[in-house]
């Protein structure tokens, strides 16, 4: 895989910028709300995207092309290596004739380089294999027609044409480059401005052969080369600029939606917490411990007679929170606080003891004593019966 960096200095600069960009995002996430971290992240990503777009535009316009020295000459002084870059013009008789002529020169080695011209859309849709197969078919046909055995070799590349040529310089070390294109760019052909870019990037002789179907090869004049450079560079820059603007718009919309969702979620959480606090404040007060007694013939009934009774028969608790009951059973027999609906069954033994009242679900539940004592009191809340309210 080709490294996106041209040097260790570029890689170090990228890592440094990445760290500096992450620092404000982390600080915003730690010190502020979530939406602020997203907003800072959006600003950082936007700044990085603008810088990347600026560098890409400069490259497309040809304003930032590092000039490289020619590779060292390989072989003897008489040996010569020629790199021919072509795609849809491989079938032109004039180009094949030039290949045969070069191969016939003693000590000359020819490499046919065929960039497959893989577009970003083809990579996303998985159509790479089809384009590579087309390039291989063209190369095979050209090699068969050119002949000349081992002095003519071929290579297909899925890299960008300029990157593919750079790779060929590292392995083949050509002494001359021939770029073959149409007069105007076709859908499956190389850009006519490629020859000018190669000429500026590599310090070796570069010839540009242009074709029209069925015509002889011609080399464009300097004015034509300048037009290629300007028109195709500006067109590529405009196309990339439109894509960058569309991507920035989509990214901005996504980030704004995320910020809005986070803010809405935080508002909902704050509203829910406020409502829960209001509900909790409106609930009746709950004691952590309640002191009461069980006394025989304690409370007078409507008929005038005194009945057995608990001194407290109404209990207010929080669901899921235990409440202590310190009960002094002054009677000589046990009693109980039993509520099947609340899952409560406390047996109150004679004497003073501490019991735990725990109701797991909210609601109002009737409780009663299950030990036979005062039958009337057992059936009437406020005596040996009552209610538990869990909130």
Query: Secondary structure of the chain in the HEC alphabet?
Result: CCCCCCCHHHHHHHHHHHHHHHHHHHHHHHHCCHHHHHHHHHHHHHHHHHHHHHHHHHHHCCCCCCCECCCCCCCCCCCEEEEEECCCCCCCHHHHHHHHHHHCCCCEEEEEEEECCCCHHHHHHCCHHHHHHHHHHHHHHHHHHHCCHHHEEEEEECCCHHHHHHHHHHHCCCCEEEEEEECCCCCCCCCCCHHHHHHHHECCCEEEEEECCCCCCECCCHHHHHHHHHHHHHHHHHHHHHHHHHHHHHHHHHHHHHHHHHHHHHHHHHHHHHHHHHHHHHCCCCCCEEEEEEEEEEEECCCCCEEEEECCCEEEECCCCCEEEEEEECCCCCEEEEECCCCEEEEECCEEEEEEECCCCCEEEEEECCCCCCHHHHHCCCCCEEEEEEC
pLDDT on residue 247: 66
The answer to whether the CB of 190 falls within 8 A of the CB of 208 is: no
pLDDT on residue 63: 46
* Residue 285 CB-density burial (10 A; 0-12 exposed, 13-18 middle, 19+ buried): exposed
pLDDT on residue 328: 92
pLDDT on residue 387: 92
Q: How far apart are CA 309 and CA 337, in angstroms?
A: 12
pLDDT on residue 98: 86
pLDDT on residue 342: 86
Q: How far apart are CA 15 and CA 266, in angstroms?
A: 34
Q: How far apart are CA 324 and CA 287, in angstroms?
A: 9
Q: How far apart are CA 220 and CA 218, in angstroms?
A: 6
Q: How far apart are CA 391 and CA 355, in angstroms?
A: 20
The answer to whether the CB of 229 falls within 8 A of the CB of 62 is: yes
Question: Helix 34-60 to helix 222-282 angle, to the nearest 10 degrees?
Answer: 180
Question: What residues of the chain score a pLDDT lower than 50?
Answer: 1-2, 4-6, 63-65
Torsion of CA 44, 45, 48, 52, to 10 degrees: -170
Task: Report the predicted TM-score, pTM, of the whole model to 2 decimal places.
Answer: 0.48
pLDDT on residue 38: 63
pLDDT on residue 1: 45
pLDDT on residue 300: 87
Q: How far apart are CA 261 and CA 257, in angstroms?
A: 6
Q: How far apart are CA 246 and CA 249, in angstroms?
A: 5
Tracing tokens 């021919």 back to the chain, one arrives at 84
Q: How far apart are CA 17 and CA 98, in angstroms?
A: 49
Measured CA distances, 63 to 55, 115, 235 (Å): 9, 23, 14
pLDDT on residue 355: 93
CA 5 to chain CA centroid, nearest Å: 22
* Residue 174 CB-density burial (10 A; 0-12 exposed, 13-18 middle, 19+ buried): buried
């Amino acid at each position: 895989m080709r490294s996106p960096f041209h040097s260790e200095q570029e890689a170090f600069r990228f890592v440094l910028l990445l760290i500096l960009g992450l620092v404000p995002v982390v600080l915003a996430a730690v010190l502020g709300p979530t939406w602020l971290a997203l907003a800072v992240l959006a600003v950082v990503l936007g700044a990085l995207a603008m810088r990347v777009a600026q560098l890409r535009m400069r490259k497309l316009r040809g304003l930032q092309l590092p000039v490289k020295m020619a590779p060292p000459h390989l072989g003897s002084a008489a040996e010569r290596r020629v790199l021919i870059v072509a795609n849809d013009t491989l079938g032109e008789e004039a180009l094949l004739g030039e290949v045969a002529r070069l191969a016939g020169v003693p000590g000359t080695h020819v490499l046919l380089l065929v960039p497959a011209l893989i577009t970003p859309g083809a990579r996303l849709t998985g159509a790479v294999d089809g384009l590579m197969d087309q390039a291989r078919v063209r190369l095979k046909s050209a090699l068969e027609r050119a002949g000349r055995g081992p002095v003519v070799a071929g290579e297909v590349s899925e890299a960008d044409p300029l990157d593919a040529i750079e790779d060929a310089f590292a392995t083949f070390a050509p002494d001359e480059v021939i770029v073959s294109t149409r007069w105007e760019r076709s859908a499956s052909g190389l850009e006519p401005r490629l020859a000018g870019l190669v000429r500026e990037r590599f310090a070796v002789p570069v010839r540009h052969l242009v074709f029209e179907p069925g015509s002889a090869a011609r080399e464009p004049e300097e004015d034509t080369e300048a037009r290629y450079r300007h028109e195709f560079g500006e067109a590529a820059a405009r196309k990339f600029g439109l894509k960058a603007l569309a991507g920035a718009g989509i990214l901005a919309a996504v980030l704004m939606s995320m910020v809005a969702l986070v803010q809405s979620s935080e508002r909902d959480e704050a509203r829910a917490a406020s409502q829960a606090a209001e509900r909790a404040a409106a609930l009746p007060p709950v004691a952590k411990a309640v002191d009461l007694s069980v006394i025989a013939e304690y409370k007078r009934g409507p008929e005038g007679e005194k009945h057995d009774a608990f001194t407290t028969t109404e209990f207010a608790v929080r669901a899921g929170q235990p409440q202590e009951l310190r009960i002094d059973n002054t009677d000589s027999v046990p009693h109980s606080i039993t509520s099947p609906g609340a899952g409560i069954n406390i047996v109150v033994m004679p004497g003073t003891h501490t019991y735990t009242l725990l109701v797991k679900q909210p609601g109002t539940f009737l409780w009663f004593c299950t030990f036979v004592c005062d039958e009337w009191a057992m059936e009437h809340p406020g005596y040996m019966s009552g209610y538990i309210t869990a909130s």
